[in-house]
Amino acid sequence: MGMSKHFLICLVAAMVPTLGHSAVVWDEAVNGDLSGDRFNPTQLTLSNGSNLLLATTGDSELDFYTFTLAPNQQLSQLNLRAYNRQDVMFIGVTTGTTFGVDPNDPNIPDLLGWMHFGAANLDQDLLPMMGTGEFGAQGFTPPLGPGSYSFWMNQFNEPTSYTLEFVVTPVPEPATMAALGLGVAALIRRRRKN
Ligand SMILES: [Ca+2]
């Protein structure tokens, strides 16, 4: 086996676990109710790949959770994977390890992003919609980079179950991206020759 082919196989093998990881990081049915205290949100640990959150919120029961992305991690997508009612739910995000907005007196400019979502958003990535900066929120363009983020989920009507998928990817390094690009190009050339 030539050195270049061996290198390619190693490169591809190194990428696969990163893309293939999928785990439930919190399931209220198993792990208990998410925190209702914005100053002490439930701590989630996200890994590169797909991270699922299964929870229920409704009436006056709020859900607060937080996670910290390592210097080489970014949140690429926030996909809605399940939603069991027709009306909409609020999701808001702030930077930091506590949720920086008072739900009883929300100051919108303190929100990094927010939106109302519902069944119409099933299998959609909420992140770009949350980042539009509506009503004076700070706004952002995905991905969300390294650092701490806290979320508030709120449904004023009957309890609603939701499943969110947080997709975390490595922050691309220019050298890695270039090597991967060359590797893929070489693989394609090889396949065409065979
Ligand atoms: Ca809950």
Task: Establish if 128 belongs to a structural domain.
Answer: yes
| pLDDT band at 17; cut points 50, 70, 90 | very low
User: pLDDT by residue (tens digit) across 136-166?
Assistant: 999 999 999 999 999 999 988 889 999 999 9
For residues 29 and 50, give the distance between their C-alpha atoms in angstroms, rounded to a whole number.
Answer: 19
Give percent above pLDDT 90 in the chain.
71
Task: Establish if 193 belongs to a structural domain.
Answer: no
- Residue 13 above 60 pLDDT? no
Q: Residue 32 is part of a domain; what is its CATH number? A: 2.60.120
- Domain housing 133: 22-171
Task: Establish if 88 belongs to a structural domain.
Answer: yes
Question: Average pLDDT, whole number, for the chain?
Answer: 88
DSSP string of 89-114, one letter each residue = EEEEEEESSS--S-TTS--GGG-SEE
Number of domains in the chain: 1
Task: Establish if 15 belongs to a structural domain.
Answer: no
Residue 20: count of CB within 10 angstroms of its CB: 10
Give the distance (Å) from ligand 1 centre to CA of residue 55. 6
- Report every protein residue that has its C-beta within 5 angstroms of ion ligand 1: 33-34, 55, 57, 63
Task: Establish if 179 belongs to a structural domain.
Answer: no
User: pLDDT by residue (tens digit) across 104-134?
Assistant: 999 999 999 999 999 999 999 999 999 999 9
Give the distance (Å) from ligand 1 centre to CA of residue 194. 55
For residues 98 and 150, the answer to whether their CB atoms sit within 8 Å is yes
